[in-house]
Structure 1
């Protein structure tokens, strides 16, 4: 009988130990959940304090004259050949197109203002997105080619996305990526000539 009593006692001890460990795991999971909720709350609160609208500009010098650079920037049918983030472009009209990126997302753009070889403005035409805005491309002649200035007038509705755009990615990240792709394409063209 003594051995039966001992095995029962061992079973009770392991049940008690299991209950203690489960409580510890529950506290850990609850702490992680509360910390994550607090983080999301802080991100939301800080993002809510940021304005929906933003304006950023970046400029670069390029070795093409305005009459050579302008068509490169304006010819949306060729965008997938040099913008690595684009899978395809579907023309809607001579001034409007749909871009499908490598993530599968599609955005419709249109040229809303244009002065050949000097400037043009593109605008996101989809109204059901959590963001929108326009880019203005300004080209001026320099002694070695052109100076390109891109100005983004954008807006972001979601406070969480505003926080990420402002503090994590930077509001100018899309322009920086675009200019990197453009410079890479121009360097490849220069090498192939």
Structure 2
């Protein structure tokens, strides 16, 4: 019984330390991951812009369903890791740029935007995705900063996009 109390005390101290350190980690963060595909921008655009079709090639996304537009913007509900994530398309400039945002009205523990930029290159298309995000909970900020990193979701998306085109890619970070 004594060892159980010691273990619980150590765990409580770890969580307290994570919360304390996390309180000093910036709430906002920016991360950009980039790949180059051997595809023309128009082909890449069709896949990136098809938000409803993304679950077919992006394993982290279980579902993506269109909801009624709001204030002239597309609204989607995506199921990611068992969580429903409401998404708004803020900007769509074919075939170069799309900006999506986690719906701020949803009141989640995290949020922000993903900006997808497609740039033509001589050998295909450079695809950059920038996350401008925020995390409200200090423990989650600690985990994102020191355990998971800010690039994981971006890199997984870009690797899956490469695989969708039959290419193996390794994202770079700027």
Calculate the TM-score normalised by the size of structure 1: 0.79
d(CA) in 1 for partners of 2:60 and 2:107? 21
SS in 2 for 1:187: coil
Q: How large is the Cα RMSD of the aligned pairs?
A: 1.5
Alignment of 1:17-166 (within 5 A): 25-26=1-2, 28-93=3-68, 95-101=74-80, 103-125=81-103, 126-166=105-145
Which sections of structure 1, spanning at least 5 residues, go unmatched? 1-24, 189-193
Cα shift readout 1:113-146 (whole Å, capped 9, x = no counterpart): 1211111100011532100000001111111110
Q: Which has the higher helix share?
A: 1
**Cα distance, 1:180 vs. partner?**
1.6
Query: Does structure 1 retain, via aligned residues, the 8 Å contact 2:41–2:118?
Result: yes
Structure 2, unmatched stretches of 5+, are: 168-174
SS of residue in 1 equivalent to 2:165: helix
Q: How many residues align?
A: 162
Of Structure 1 and Structure 2, the greater strand share is in 2
1:68 is displaced (CA, Å) by: 1.1
Larger Rg: 1
- The whole-number CA distance in structure 2 between the counterparts of 1:41 and 1:114 is 43
TM value normalised by structure 2: 0.88
Q: CA deviation at 1:93?
A: 4.3
Aligned residue for 1:92, secondary structure, equals: strand
